[in-house]
Structure 1
Amino acid sequence: MLIHPWDAALDADEWRSWLRTRDFGLLTANGVRGGPPVVVPTHFLLEAGEEIVLHLARPNPIWAALEANPAVVMSVHDDYAFIPSTWRADSPGTGVPTSYYASVQLTCTARIVDDKEGKADILRRQLAHHEPDGGYGVVAADEGPYRKMLSAIRGLRLQVTGVRAKFKYDSHKPVELRERVAAGLAERDLPGDAGARAHQLRRMGAQ
Structure 2
Amino acid sequence: MLVHPWDAPRDDDEWRDWLGSHDFGQLAVNGPPGEPPHVQPLHFAFDAARGAHGEVVTHLARPNPLWSALEADPVVLLSVVDDYVYVPGPWQAAPEGPPEHGVPTSFYAAVQLRCHARVVDDPGEKADLLNRQVGHFQPDGGSARAAAGEAPYGRLLSGIRGLRLEVTGVRAKFKYAGKRTEEVRDRIAVGLAERAGPRDAGARAHLARRGGI
The alignment's TM-score, normalised by the length of structure 2, stands at 0.94
C-alpha displacement at 1:138, in angstroms? 2.7
C-alpha displacement at 1:33, in angstroms? 2.5
Within the candidate set 81, 95, 98, 2:102 is matched to 95
- Give the count of matched residue pairs: 206
Inter-partner Cα distance in structure 1 for 2:70 and 2:85:
34
* Comparing 176-185 and 27-36, the one that deviates more: 27-36
CA contact 1:44–1:54 (8 Å) conserved in 2 = yes
Within the candidate set 193, 196, 213, 1:186 is matched to 193
Deviation sequence 1:85-137 (CA, Å, 0-9, x none)? 11112313210000000000000000000110111011111011111222111
* 1:52 is aligned to 2:59: no
In structure 2, what is the equivalent of residue 68 of structure 1?
Answer: 72
Inter-partner Cα distance in structure 2 for 1:199 and 1:92:
24
* Comparing 48-57 and 166-175, the one that deviates more: 48-57
In structure 1, what is the equivalent of residue 21 of structure 2?
Answer: 21
The one-letter code sitting in structure 2 at the alignment partner of 1:37 is P
Gap runs ≥5 in structure 2: none
Within the candidate set 170, 175, 200, 2:182 is matched to 175
Partner-residue secondary structure (3-state), 1:18:
helix
Query: Once superposed, which parts of structure 1, at least 4 consecutive aligned residues long, lie more than 6 Å away?
Result: none
C-alpha displacement at 1:62, in angstroms? 1.1
Deviation sequence 1:24-75 (CA, Å, 0-9, x none)? 1100000112210000000001112511110100111110110110000010
CA contact 1:7–1:168 (8 Å) conserved in 2 = yes
Inter-partner Cα distance in structure 1 for 2:139 and 2:12:
27
Partner-residue secondary structure (3-state), 2:188:
helix
In structure 2, what is the equivalent of residue 85 of structure 1?
Answer: 89
Partner-residue secondary structure (3-state), 2:155:
coil
CA contact 2:89–2:99 (8 Å) conserved in 1 = no
Within the candidate set 105, 109, 121, 2:116 is matched to 109
Deviation sequence 1:177-203 (CA, Å, 0-9, x none)? 010000000000101100000000100
In structure 2, what is the equivalent of residue 40 of structure 1?
Answer: 40
In structure 2, what is the equivalent of residue 132 of structure 1?
Answer: 139
Inter-partner Cα distance in structure 1 for 2:185 and 2:14:
20
Gap runs ≥5 in structure 1: none
RMSD: 1.1
Partner-residue secondary structure (3-state), 1:161:
strand
Within the candidate set 144, 161, 170, 2:151 is matched to 144
Partner-residue secondary structure (3-state), 1:120:
helix
The alignment's TM-score, normalised by the length of structure 1, stands at 0.97
Inter-partner Cα distance in structure 2 for 1:26 and 1:138:
27
The one-letter code sitting in structure 2 at the alignment partner of 1:93 is E
Partner-residue secondary structure (3-state), 2:154:
coil
Identical columns (%)? 60
The one-letter code sitting in structure 2 at the alignment partner of 1:86 is P
Inter-partner Cα distance in structure 1 for 2:7 and 2:140:
38
* 1:122 is aligned to 2:129: yes
